[in-house]
Structure 1
Amino acid sequence: MTTSFLPGTTTPPLLEETVGALLARRAAEDPERLALVGTRHGDGEPVRLTRAELLAEARCVATALAGLAAPGEPVALWAPNVVEWPVIEYGAALAGVVLVALNPVLRRPELEYALGHCRATVLLHADASRGYDMGAVAREVADAAGLTRVSLAETSRWRAEAPDDAVVAAEPTDPSAPVMLQYTSGTTGNPKGVLLRHRSLVNVAHLTMEAARAPSGAVCVNPLPMFHTASCVIGTLGPLVVGGTEVLVEQFEPNSVLDLLRREEASVLFYVPAVLGALLEAQRASDSPAPTLQVAMGGAATVSPTMIQAAEDVFGASVINLFGQTELAPVLTATRPDDAHADQLETVGRPLPHVDVKIVDPASGEVVPLGEPGEICARGYQQMIGYLHDDAATAATVDADGFVHTGDLGALDERGYLRLTGRLKELIIRKGENIAPPEIENCLDAHAAVAAVAVVGLPDEQAGEIVAAVVRLRGEPSAGLRDELVAHCRERLSPHKIPACWFVVDEFPMTPTQKVQKFRLAEAAGRGELRELV
Structure 2
Amino acid sequence: MHTEHAEPAAPPARPSYSSGTSDVPLIGETIGTNLLRTAERFPERDALVEFATGRRWTYREFVADVDALAVGLLESGLEKGDRIGVWAPNRAEWTLVQYAAARIGAILVNINPSYRVHELEYVLNQSGTRMLVAARRFKSSDYVDMVERVRPGCSSLERVVFLDGPEWAELSRHRVDPARLRRVAEGLSADDPINIQYTSGTTGFPKGATLSHHNILNNGFFVGELCGYTERDRVAIVPPFYHCFGMVMGNLACTSHGAAMVIPSEGFDASAALAAVQAESCTSLYGVPTMFIAELDLPDFANYELSSLRTGIMAGSPCPVEVMKQVIERMGMSEVAICYGMTETSPVSVQTRADDSLERRVSTVGRVGPHLEIKIVDPETGLTVPCGESGELCTRGYSVMLGYWNEPDRTAEVIDSARWMHTGDLAVMDEYGYVSVTGRIKDMIIRGGENIYPREVEEFLYTHPDILDAQVIGVPDERYGEELMAWVRLREGAEELTAEALREFCAGELAHYKIPRYARVVDEFPMTVTGKVRKVEMRERAKEMLGIG
Answering whether residue 215 of structure 2 is matched by residue 206 of structure 1, we say no
Following superposition of structure 1 onto structure 2, how do residues 121-520 of structure 1 map, counting pairs within 5 Å? 121-146=130-155, 147=157, 148-152=159-163, 153=165, 154-164=167-177, 165-171=179-185, 173-249=188-264, 250-282=266-298, 285-317=301-333, 318-475=335-492, 478=495, 482-520=499-537
Letter in 2 for 1:83: A
Task: Label 1:235 to 1:104 Cα distance change in 2 as closer, same or farther (>3 A).
Answer: same
- How far off its partner does 1:491 sit? 4.2
Aligned residues: 526
Secondary structure of the structure 2 residue equivalent to 1:76: strand
Contact 1:283 1:290 in 2 (8 A): no
Answering whether residue 31 of structure 2 is matched by residue 19 of structure 1, we say yes
Contact 1:449 1:474 in 2 (8 A): yes
TM-score normalised by L of structure 1: 0.95
Question: Hey, what does 1:60 align to over in structure 2?
Answer: 68
Secondary structure of the structure 2 residue equivalent to 1:440: helix
Q: Distance in 2 between matches of 1:288 and 1:388?
A: 44
CA deviation map 1:428-478 (0-9, x unaligned): 001111101111111112222111111100001110001110111113652
- How far off its partner does 1:169 sit? 2.6
Task: Label 1:50 to 1:529 Cα distance change in 2 as closer, same or farther (>3 A).
Answer: farther
CA deviation map 1:183-238 (0-9, x unaligned): 00222211000000101111111111111223542011111111001100111111
Letter in 2 for 1:7: S
Contact 1:21 1:173 in 2 (8 A): no
Letter in 2 for 1:382: S
Letter in 2 for 1:398: I
Q: Give the number of the structure whose alpha-carbon radius of gyration is greater.
A: 2
Q: Distance in 1 between matches of 2:143 and 2:483?
A: 43
Contact 1:17 1:173 in 2 (8 A): no
Q: Distance in 1 between matches of 2:299 and 2:417?
A: 49
Contact 2:42 2:231 in 1 (8 A): no
Task: Label 1:187 to 1:179 Cα distance change in 2 as closer, same or farther (>3 A).
Answer: same
Provide structure 2 residue ranges, at least 5 long, that are not aligned to the other structure. 1-12
The CA RMSD over aligned residues, in Å, is: 1.8
- How far off its partner does 1:8 sit? 3.3
Greater shift in the superposed pair: 468-477 or 70-79: 468-477
Secondary structure of the structure 2 residue equivalent to 1:528: helix
Contact 2:71 2:181 in 1 (8 A): yes
Name the % identity. Answer: 35
Task: Label 1:437 to 1:61 Cα distance change in 2 as closer, same or farther (>3 A).
Answer: same
Letter in 1 for 2:415: V
Contact 2:499 2:520 in 1 (8 A): no
Greater shift in the superposed pair: 248-257 or 407-416: 248-257
Letter in 1 for 2:480: A
Q: Distance in 2 between matches of 1:389 and 1:519?
A: 27
Q: Distance in 2 between matches of 1:345 and 1:36?
A: 32
- 1:112 alignment partner, one of 116, 121, 133: 121
CA deviation map 1:369-428 (0-9, x unaligned): 111110000001011000111111111101121100000110111111101111111000
